[in-house]
Each structure stands twice: as C-alpha cells, then as structure tokens.
Chain A
C-alpha cells in the first residue's frame, strides 16, 4: 500500500513548488497539469429585504485553487464561509456568478446539460446527510445503478454485477442489493452514497461533510474507507468539512475559508504546524483537545462571523483579528505565497512558528477566565479577549 501510495504522490511532490501557489497569474507549465483549476470563482445570491431594498450575499468571492490528479484538498471553515456553495459550484449544482472552473483542461464554468453529461462521469459528489440524499422508495441496487443507467453505460458483466462489486468495495453486503435505505444505519447509508459516487469511476469527488452526521465510532469507519478508496483508486478529492482533525487525516492540502474567501492554503503540515493566518491559528486553537485536560490556553475570538451581505472592508477577518491595523481596513490582502511558495496566506501581518509560540501567544487566554464577571480586561477593540485568571 505504501509503495503504491508513494508512486501516486510522487508527481504531486515534484510539483510542490506550485502546489501552494494559486495566484491567478501562476500558470504552472509543468507536467502535472491540475485536474481542476479554479480561478476567481464567485457566487453572489441576490436577497430581497422589504425595508432596505435588495442586496447581494457574497457567499463565495473570488476563489483560486488547483487540484491535481489523485490529490486531496480540504476546504475548511466555519458555517457561512462558503465552503458548501463552492462544492456545489464545482459539480455545477450551482451556477457560478463569476470566475472559471476548468476540469481536465476544459472550461466547464457554464457548460450546458449535454456538455456536462460526459463530465459527470469524472466528477461526483457525496452529500452530507445520508438520510436526505438517498431516495427512500428506491432499493439500494437501484440507487447505486442509477448513475450507470442515466449515462447509458453497460459495464462488462452487466449493471447488477457492477453494483454488487461497488457495494462490496464500500464494505456493504452485496446481498443487500434489494433492501431500502431505511433498513440501513447512518454509516451504511453514507457508504451507499459513496458507492453511488464511485459507480462511474470518477476522477474527482467532492465530498461535502461526508462524516459529520455520523456517530464518532462510525465516522472513523467512513474516514478509513474514503482513505482506502482514495489510495487504491487514485481519486482526487475536494473534501469539505468543518472538523479540522478529520481534514488533517484525509487531506494532503488544505484551504481555509473565511467569509467567502480563501485566507490560507497550503500543505497539511504547513497549515497545521505552521499556520500563518491569524484566523487559521484561532480556528486550530479553538478545537477542544482531548490530549489536554482543562481549558487549555487558546486564542479566543469574540463575536460571530460578520454577515456576507456586507462584509468588512479590506481584510474580512479584521473585525475579529487581534493584529488588525489601519491598512487591514483599507486594503484587502492578496493570497500570496510565502516561504518559497508552498503556503499562501492572505494577511498583511502573517504569523510564524507553531500555534501558541508566536506573537499571537499574547492573545492566548490562560484558563477559566472571568469574562463578564468583572475582573478580566474585557474585550479589546480588536475583538479578542485577553483573559487572565
């Protein structure tokens, strides 16, 4: 497994120079052409508001990234950051407002139904909710066979044999071919969704929170399954999740989103060990860590994510950032590669070093604080509370 693994990854490693770079000017003229190339991708939803007229929710606002064949890219961020909207645009369930999506060298941004059909074979999606994404009136066999039938594919040995093979591949009993979704548990249903996505032997799968609706013990089963499939079949993934620990276990590269934009993108080890964007650091430090008992020192962000209806000027994170200066309000930081191009960060004042050790340690709280009880210094203008015991 490891040999195959290494063989598969080697082209990606050779291209590491470009891996983290996704500035629109970057045109990597190297062998490993990206499978998916996204430039300036945006989705704006018009909203009507009785009093204030209308507005635009800038759910996704100018994303640039590439996914290479066989590569796994994680899209992480909090709710409302646009990660799901992005995923839906990638598989063309939503029409992008602006920007381009290239898949295997073809511009598919506005491809019509007929043009999309052959493409659907290469590009599949796994949905979050295993209860809502399977038709309750269809048998499992029919659900998994549907992509084959819709695309008029008759695999050697027949559809039924292929479906059984797929069920076996995802760890389900092929004898359960004739059962209905309600006869399966949540984890098994998610496996059915995965089998359906694999039916056409896709090159890229967009997985939108594929394990977040599952119990913890079942999550690990599905994550392991996806990892095995990814390695064995050489699949590329865009893995959308809010759980950064799961993403770390699945993705080679990670893009962190905030309010419709990518604020940082890089290799797994860069994002988790040396995050440069203050938001990435805050996000990582907010995850409760079982290995540390008690409220460990962490960066406390105050407030909520601002509304995408009227995002802050300049850097969108500045209203919650402890490093914000005047320039952050006036000038939007570009997503620029640092450290020789492996990791790109959209920040005027990027951090360095591991979380908690850099300058941001000043913003790290030290224990059960005294918020709202009168002894803490309270919220600072920058929106981060410094709380000391």
Chain B
C-alpha cells in the first residue's frame, strides 16, 4: 500500500463553523424549561429553569452526572413524557413552533421528522422481533404515507449505506441481534436520520461502545452534520466526547445550568467549581500519572430534596467564601469571562480566576 504521502502536520482545525451563520436564528430555542414529576416520594424537580438554543449545523453538548437533568431535558424537547405525572412549563420552540402545550398528535408529527433521537442503548431501542431494515423503513413511512414499500426499503438501504454499514441491502433483512454494538448504533443513527431531521438529539450515543468504535461514531456524526446541516444536542458525561464534537457546552447540576459557553470557554477557562471538579477528577493520558486525582467530595444530590441555595454547595470546596450566601441564595447564570460565557456561582470573578489557577489548572485533564 502506498503510504508515501507526507503526514499531515500541525493541529487540525476545529470543524469549520462559518462565522456568518452565527446570526442565523436558532432552530431550537428552550427558555426557562421546568420539568417536574410527581412521585410517591415527593415532587422531583428534574429540570429547574434551563435555557439554551441551538442553530442548524451546530452542536450543543449537555454535560452532567446521573440525575443532573440532562436526559430529562432532551425528553422534554421531544415530548416523550408520561403526561399524567409530568408538569412541563417554559418554552420549547422548534423551527419557530412552540411545543409546550401542543397536542400530542401534533408533537408526534414533528417527532421523527423534524427532530429525532439517538439513544444510548441500541439493543433496547431497536425491536428485537423485527428486522433492522423494516424498522427503519417504518420510521420513513410514518412520515411519508404516500411512499410505497419499495421506496421505503430503498430509502432505508440508502441510509444504512450512508452510515457506513457494509452490504446494506443484505443487512436490511437482518435482526438487531445479528449486528455488533457499533453496527447497531449506526443502524439507530440511520433510523434517526431517515427523515432528514433538522434537530438530532443524541443521548450518550457512544457510552456503551469501545473507544475505537466510539471514534468511528463521533466521526460519523460530524460527517452527517456537515452533510445534512442539522442541529445536534449531544448529551454525555464524557468531557472528552464533548471536546471532540461540541461547539457549545451546557453543564448541568441538580436540574439547573451551572455553566454555559463555547467549548473553548468551558473546557479551557472553566468558571464553575463543579466544572473544575469534573475536569480535575478525570484521569489524563498526559502529565504526572502518579499525582492524585482531585475528586468532587460527596455524591450528586437528590432531585426531590435539593440542597438550599447553590445546589452544589455541600460538595463545593469554596462554599464558605461568601458567608452564608451559597446556602441561602440560588446563584443565577451571569456573564463571566468572555462573551457568551455564563456561570451560576457566588464566587467573585477574581476569586474564580485565582482559585482555578492555584488549585485546579494543573491536575487531571484541566491541565
């Protein structure tokens, strides 16, 4: 094999996001979203006043631990809730249409066509009893009632090929269990994209996959986004994944947004102690392997009984710096650092800069 061409040198660029597009109206706009579940144990405030927007062709990474509300946010956008027990308030506007309060029938028409979801576990998201191809073709026909069986099959085969599944025509007739984990996730991406959705929500799409396969799937998503110009929300706990694929990052904790900004801002100049904790607790492939990680003390909070004031204060090393404020007053998202960078923290800007440099900047992947 000819490998004589010179190795590409230098740092590859960020996925090019044309600047002129930044003036475009966001495709998805979420404003003061609140999602509450009534349970026998009490009211779960899963999402508590979260706002964000995503433009077409851009990727928003939503980061948080289990119970931070990141998945519930995405389910709310898609209208996938048990209606009886769930109270949703706020605004969700998709392509200019207001979703909160829209009749289920109309949301269903949008779901799968204008917005689609990729789930974490393709084995449970795909029906084991039907062939993979049939499920993709069905997803197409639901929104294209005039399309014949043959056309739907052709479309499904095309999509399987598009997401990099070899021999798509043969694979069409196979069942999910005959696919490997990576192939199943590709099939699910094919199903999500079969109607050319403008908004794609991917909930931990690579968490169950091996790293080499994860790299393939992340590349695939970036390629497909370049091709279809869709808005993507990537929900993940993995800051590495976010650093690879996101343009913007929203960090959630206890159902609230604690930090929001461009990927450079949040990962390079993080402002919130929780973001610091995430960065300093992740082991790195570089630097001093013998240095201890700096974990976040304690455990994520219960959404039924959120700590008063700043929900992070029981785990925060710096909670005492502002007297009782962290315990009594919920910090609001306020501008911090560069343009568009928001943080919900009572620490002063000077404190944040100094503490980050002193305590955090040299450990874990924060380095």
Q: What is the interface of chain A, defined by CB distance below 8 A to chain B?
A: 78-79, 185, 187-188, 215-221, 223-224, 227, 242-246, 248-249, 268, 272, 282-284, 286-298, 300-302, 304-305, 322, 359, 361-373, 380-382, 387-389
Contact = CB atoms under 8 A, between A and B. Distances in A.
A245 B281 contact: no
B12 A249 contact: no
Given A217-B278, A372-B161, 15 more contacts: A215-B66, A216-B282, A217-B277, A220-B280, A220-B295, A220-B296, A227-B292, A245-B282, A295-B245, A302-B216, A362-B7, A364-B8, A367-B13, A368-B222, A370-B226
Contacts of A185: 299
Given A221-B295, A227-B292, A297-B12, A284 B285 contact: yes
Nearest to A297: B12
Contact of B8 (A188, A217, A388): A388
Nearest to A298: B215
Give chain A's interface secondary structure class: loop
Interface in B266-322: 267-268, 277-286, 289, 292-297, 299-300
A289 B294 contact: no
Given A295-B12, A373-B227, A287 B293 contact: no
Interface residues of B, number: 69
Contacts of A284: 285
Contacts of A289: 240, 243, 285, 365
Contact of B244 (A244, A288, A301, A388): A288
B173 interface: no
A382 B15 CA distance: 27
Contacts of A387: 219
A272 B283 contact: no
Interface stretch (B88-96, B129-137, B179-187, B331-339): B179-187
Interface stretch (B149-157, B205-213, B348-356): B205-213
B285 A245 contact: yes
A23 B17 CA distance: 52
Contact of A373 (B223, B241, B285): B223
B5 interface: yes
Given A216-B237, A249-B289, A372-B163, A292 B220 contact: no
B281 A372 contact: no
B162 interface: yes
Contact of A218 (B215, B241, B267, B299): B299
B285 A293 contact: no
Interface string B154-195: 000000011110000000000000001111000000000000
Nearest to B240: A288
Contacts of A268: 289
Contact of A291 (B12, B294, B367): B367
A361 B7 contact: yes
A382 B211 contact: no
| List of 3 A-B pairs having minimum Cβ-Cβ separation, nearest first | A288-B240, A220-B295, A220-B281
A386 to B, nearest CB: 8
Contacts of B164: 371-372
Contacts of A366: 8, 12
Interface string B233-259: 000011111111100000000000000
B270 to A, nearest CB: 11
Nearest to A242: B210
B146 interface: no
A304 B285 contact: no
Contacts of A248: 283-285, 289
A77 to B, nearest CB: 9
Nearest to B268: A293
B243 A292 contact: yes
B283 A245 contact: yes
A223 B11 CA distance: 32
A272 B285 contact: yes
Contact of A295 (B212, B213, B222, B295): B222
20 contacts: A79-B210, A187-B299, A216-B281, A220-B280, A220-B281, A223-B283, A224-B293, A244-B211, A248-B289, A286-B212, A288-B218, A291-B365, A293-B263, A297-B8, A304-B182, A371-B219, A371-B223, A372-B161, A372-B220, A373-B223
Nearest to B297: A221
A221 B297 CA distance: 8
B264 interface: yes
A227 B294 CA distance: 13
Nearest to B183: A304
B296 A367 contact: no
B41 to A, nearest CB: 14
Given A216-B65, A288-B241, A78 B1 contact: no
Nearest to B16: A368
B86 interface: no
Contacts of A215: 65-66, 237, 300
B214 interface: yes
Nearest to B164: A372
Nearest to B364: A220
Contacts of A272: 285, 289
A245 B267 CA distance: 18
Contacts of B11: 292, 296
B278 A216 contact: yes
Given A218-B299, A219-B281, A372-B223, A283 B65 contact: no
Contacts of A288: 214-215, 218, 238, 240-241, 243-244
Nearest to B298: A217
Contacts of B84: none
A322 B241 CA distance: 25
A375 to B, nearest CB: 10
B264 to A, nearest CB: 6
A223 B293 contact: yes
Contacts of B284: 245, 248, 290-291
Contacts of B180: 304
A249 B363 CA distance: 12
Contact of B211 (A286, A361, A372): A286
Contacts of A224: 292-293, 295
A292 B32 CA distance: 32
